[in-house]
Structure 1
């Protein structure tokens, strides 16, 4: 089986989408025999990321002339050049792990549904990006042979919006695999006091401003407790959050770290007191799973996929109710028995997820598509 993977949208910067692509493909290649050959189509910007990670003989990595940070350049390459390369290498299947696929060509395609953020009005996408994004999502829904979805919520939302049969969607939840070389337990904490941890890119829908307001009620009662906000800046949001923390009088207890290395992230998870995630929109919510894997009590939003991910292992709250968040967090900080109970629940819940299982379900989807196409060909003969 000759499988192509469209990696043009994946940037080299740390992100949930990058982690998804790297972890999933690592396990897919490991689970595949030598008869499966993979063709990774990358951008000039991210090709080194994949060449360092994948050195197997059955993986061919190519850089197409585009930059993944340039949306227009990427879209043109994905829609015009990629189909030509797929034809050149006579691939049997294309895997598109970032929501969309090329319009041209007739290669059977499996698309991974990560999110449908482009359809949410409250997210401020440029008009052209929203127009193209909505069109290509709808077109993809009609053209793809099958889909994988990172949560049941994502699968149900996609099926309902685009009229897709649930039988065409394979739910493949994300996973967590501890890296053997990354240990945080034996390192010193970055702070003398306790800290609450938030991890994600600073998009407005991550609801970090709400988190600052909720934390301001905690900070007045717990001067030794800090809030660590970890994740890449988005359109200058870091500066606005720092200014807001100053206005709320909590600047000395709020630390906006920006993007950090994997080693630093493990260290931050390992020493945190608890994890908070008031996001309004998620396709899955990988940071919540990572926090649970580090045995942290988690408090998350009751929106979209997050209740599904944490189950009864975490505390689920309305992401507009500052009092509920501040009171719940204070209770966890003060009640060691309660905090310990949720830490144990977190560890058990995280054990139900693995990237290997994500890869197994994805490969099952690949084989199902090719088997169906083979059966259809035989019926025509």
Structure 2
């Protein structure tokens, strides 16, 4: 039996892609048949149980995604080792690895999950100012290559992310694996009731509406979607647009669009509200310029929604031919596709069927099984005398 320390400090109160990955992976790893002991390192501000399995947890004050963790996070690892015994394997679920991980855990194999390289390759698309973009890029240049090369195994969540990781790897002993995200089974269930301020969109005579998930950061490209929505030709009933997430920074752009009365900003929503909205939307739109994976694409597809994605990787390969693709800098291109879905119910029905079939090929159980294989291969490799 091996003791596996899983660094889940990336789990916070707000829903994020990294948090969704951590929560689902841990829950499904705990359900798999194996004789390993799973121990969780958690952020002390969020230690709510992830799974019904009684997994040991250690609370830490050090967050996983900043300079403090890079320089001082080894203290949290050393504390974990002193409390529960030295682990045989350490898995960082976020790609900022404490710089002195090897010193803190000298006997452990190290696995890191790489989600994306936005900070490194596209800092201006993820930060509000030039100075913040340069600062985060400088940090990423030091921290991300270190995390990859200090690991025995790297899990990339998409093929394009893995290809970029290969360019940064200089350690010949590091193995690289591509393991996709999955879709939670609840997204294949009928949508729950739509409650709250947007409940009027569930009325039998309600106008159709589109849904997108993101935030105000440039790489999410929601300004393009707003522009495309504003350019829709006259159509009765006029459609609405729901932008889920931290989108208040788009308020000025929405106000200048001429269609602000039909654009809704519910903010961050829980899974129940997300499923309620996705399950009733005419279509889901994912216009991002840069992503590590694009989990909301699969969640919308699992709900049977026609889906439109920007014609870039990894969105293109995740959605496949089951979605409509549009040029990510051409609002007229997207507007034309939105209009088609409003006036062509047979197209919407065909895409809905394709979406559901596509989503069934991405399951969290498979993600957990593949991850466990990485663990066991690394443990076996380290147990073999050289």
- TM-score, length-scaled by structure 2: 0.88
Q: 1:250 aligns to what? A: 259
Alignment: residue pair count: 366
Helix, strand or coil: the match of 1:292? helix
Q: 1:112 aligns to what? A: 113
Helix, strand or coil: the match of 2:56? strand
1:77/1:301 CA distance change after superposition, 3 Å: same
Q: 1:9 aligns to what? A: 10
* Per-residue Cα deviation, 1:237-266 (whole angstroms, up to 9, x for no partner): 51x422222212101111111101211111
Contact 2:278 2:300 in 1 (8 A): yes
CA distance in 2, matches of 1:96, 1:32: 22
How far does residue 199 in structure 1 lie from its aligned partner after superposition? Answer: 1.3
Give runs of aligned pairs for residues 159-238 of structure 1, distance below 5 A: 159-163=166-170, 168-179=175-186, 183-184=190-191, 190-191=200-201, 192-218=206-232, 220-221=234-235, 224-231=238-245, 233=246, 237-238=247-248
1:327 aligns with 2:336: yes
Q: 2:158 aligns to what? A: 151
Tell me, which stretches of 5 or more residues in structure 1 are unaligned? none
Cα RMSD of the aligned pairs, angstroms, is 2.4
Contact 1:275 1:299 in 2 (8 A): yes
* Per-residue Cα deviation, 1:181-226 (whole angstroms, up to 9, x for no partner): 9752555854121000101233221001111111101164455200
Helix, strand or coil: the match of 1:21? helix
1:11/1:186 CA distance change after superposition, 3 Å: closer
- TM-score, length-scaled by structure 1: 0.89
Helix, strand or coil: the match of 1:40? strand
Helix, strand or coil: the match of 1:214? helix
Tell me, which stretches of 5 or more residues in structure 2 are unaligned? none
CA distance in 2, matches of 1:172, 1:311: 17
Helix, strand or coil: the match of 1:228? strand
Q: 1:307 aligns to what? A: 316
Q: 2:95 aligns to what? A: 99
How far does residue 294 in structure 1 lie from its aligned partner after superposition? Answer: 0.5
Helix, strand or coil: the match of 1:282? coil
CA distance in 1, matches of 2:30, 2:349: 38
1:113/1:71 CA distance change after superposition, 3 Å: closer
CA distance in 2, matches of 1:79, 1:166: 22
Contact 2:111 2:153 in 1 (8 A): yes
Moved more, 294-303 or 201-210: 201-210
Helix, strand or coil: the match of 2:279? helix
1:63 aligns with 2:77: no
